[in-house]
Each structure stands twice: as C-alpha cells, then as structure tokens.
C-alpha cells in the first residue's frame, strides 16, 4: 500500500485537475493499466510526477478476459472483482486512489 503524501490545498487542486485531464484522455483512447510515478526535485523542493506504465489498450482480447474472469467459467470466484477492467472503470478507480494518496495538510 502506497504511503500518503501531504500537500497544500493548491497543489492538491492542481494534481486533481491534471489527473482528471490525463485519465479522461487515456480513457477516451481506450487505454488502461497505468500508474503514477512520484519523485522529488531536491533543488526546487518540489514533487515531480507523471503517469507511466504499460498503458495497454482495452482491445477485444481484454474484453474477453474480463468476461471470462467475471463469469467464473474457468474457475475462480464470480463475486471477486476482475483484475482487467474497462478504461472507464480504471479511470474512476485511479482517480479515487490518487485522492486518497495525496492528502491536504
């Protein structure tokens, strides 16, 4: 579980806007499976961050994988959340996570 990072009100608002814009764009082109990388610029005493990772498109094979995993056809629990979710669901989950990891001090 990532550690919470405390930021000022303005920084939180700017971060939320950037995450909102970036995830809206990624979902619009059917991309999911991304992460946020956070670093520190020691000279400027600022956080530096960006969305990174595999950034996989949600193609027909991912639709099929989601359906198979949620149906329980090949075993597993029908009640468990699928590990592969649509870009829209991924965007929502990512935004929620970012709002809990970055807290206003």
Give bridge partners of residue 41 from the DSSP assignment. Answer: 46
Which range is most confident: 6-15, 27-36, 44-53, 67-76?
Answer: 6-15
How do residues 55-65 score in pLDDT, each as one tens digit? 666 666 666 66
What is the percent of the chain where pLDDT is above 90? 51
- The token pair at 24 is 């809206």
- The token pair at 14 is 């700017």
pLDDT recorded at residue 42: 94
Exposed / middle / buried, residue 86 (Cβ in 10 Å: 0-12, 13-18, 19+) = middle
pLDDT at 68 over 90: no
- The token pair at 55 is 């950034």
pLDDT recorded at residue 58: 64
Output DSSP code: residue 39: E
Give CA–CA dist 87/67, Å, rounded.
Answer: 15
């Amino acid at each position: 579980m990532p550690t919470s990072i405390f930021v000022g009100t303005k920084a939180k608002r700017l971060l939320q806007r950037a995450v909102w814009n970036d995830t809206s764009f990624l979902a619009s082109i059917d991309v999911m499976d991304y992460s946020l990388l956070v670093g520190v610029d020691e000279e400027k005493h600022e956080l530096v961050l960006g969305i990174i990772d595999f950034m996989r498109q949600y193609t027909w094979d991912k639709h099929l994988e989601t359906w198979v995993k949620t149906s329980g056809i090949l075993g597993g629990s029908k009640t468990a959340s699928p590990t592969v979710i649509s870009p829209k669901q991924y965007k929502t989950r990512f935004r929620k996570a970012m709002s809990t990891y970055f807290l206003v001090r």
